[in-house]
Structure 1
């Protein structure tokens, strides 16, 4: 009399591993893209916070306080300086541009491979990213 064996054969195990590999190969790049977009969104949020602080200082003192950003970050920002370096560029006392420079390589995404900027008029570049 033959007894029925229970268990998983090697072929069944290889099929499961192959399916998991295919799913992982498809899902990981998408996951990575969302993580990078999250970094960008955080940097953009911090740029808006900096702009609000600059405008508040201008309202109170009739001058912009550019010292709120130092060492690539600000005290009230949530941004990780390993992801984006924040800075303020000013050509005269009445204008400024807030710059977020990515510190990682991002392929096939113009929003992640270029610096993000926001000026005193609220205009951000690249425009398609804002």
Structure 2
């Protein structure tokens, strides 16, 4: 008597594999999404620091603080000025300024508030969630 060998996979084996993949995906995807939001948040913080460095460098050269409004690429060419995740604004006087990174639509799922960086070096948020930005 000769035994036949099975070729291929059975429907039950395929369903088990799909269930395992579905379970892993259900656990991994939200974690991945949080990681993406946090990485963009870190980029926004780095951009604000770069903007501040450029503003202070210009101030030491005798150039006044930029006028209030959106931060342009001329202030920080290395920064992400696309506005896809965050938009950067400055509110300034002749003696101080405040930089703000405000969430835009692609970052709207982020639970962290907008980041505020003052010329004194003080870091706050629009709802005092500073720990969220660390």
2:5 and 2:50 mapped to 1: Cα distance? Answer: 68
1:29 and 1:79 mapped to 2: Cα distance? Answer: 27
Give deviations 1:78-122, integer Å, cap 9, x for gaps: 3541110011012x2111110111113225x3x2xx211100011
Residue 80 of structure 2 aligns to a residue whose secondary structure is coil
Task: Report the TM-score when normalising by structure 1.
Answer: 0.83
Segments of structure 2 that go 5 or more residues without pairing to the other structure are none
Instruction: Answer whether contact 1:46 1:79 (CA < 8 A) is retained.
Output: no
Give deviations 1:2-24, integer Å, cap 9, x for gaps: 42322210000000000000000
1:9 aligned residue: 10
Distance 1:78 1:62, change over 3 A: closer
Residue 59 of structure 2 aligns to a residue whose secondary structure is helix
Segments of structure 1 that go 5 or more residues without pairing to the other structure are none
Distance 1:57 1:79, change over 3 A: same
Range that drifts further, 119-128 or 50-59 = 119-128
1:93 aligned residue: 94
Instruction: Answer whether contact 2:72 2:81 (CA < 8 A) is retained.
Output: no
Bigger helix share: 1
Residue 70 of structure 1 aligns to a residue whose secondary structure is coil
Give deviations 1:58-79, integer Å, cap 9, x for gaps: 11116323489238x8433135
1:78 aligned residue: 80
Task: Report the TM-score when normalising by structure 2.
Answer: 0.81
Q: CA RMSD in A?
A: 2.2
